[in-house]
Amino acid sequence: MSSVGKLMRQAQRIQQQMESVQASLAQKTIETSSGGGAVKVTVSGDGNVKSIRILPDAVNKDDVAFLEDLVLTAVNSGIAQARELSNKEMGSVTQGFGLPGMF
């Protein structure tokens, strides 16, 4: 068996594992909050924002910028955690493959 053929089979196996991990990540959720729970955000493991919940007490028509900051903070935190989860799980698939620039 040629080393190229072996490498190609290994690459195909890794691609299948990566697709499986991506599907699994899409099913996982991360919940973050800001403002002591005034704003709660749910993000899927693949980085999609699924929901944003805002407590009525957090809504002040005279201070919309504060609410915007709370939402932004919670969303960015959820996306960062999803990215971290994705990197961890994808890294376990590609570990040892030895291709430069992959995860």
What CATH number did the domain enclosing 7 receive?
3.30.1310.10
What is the predicted pLDDT for the residue at 33? 95
Share of the chain above pLDDT 90, in %: 47
Any alpha helices (H) in 1-103, and if so which ranges? 3-27, 64-94
Residue 66 belongs to domain spanning: 3-94
Q: How many folded domains does the chain comprise? A: 1
Q: How confident is the model at residue 79 (pLDDT cuts 50, 70, 90)?
A: very high
Q: How confident is the model at residue 103 (pLDDT cuts 50, 70, 90)?
A: very low
Decide if 44 contacts 26 (C-beta within 8 A). yes
pLDDT mean over 50-64: 93
What is the predicted pLDDT for the residue at 30? 93
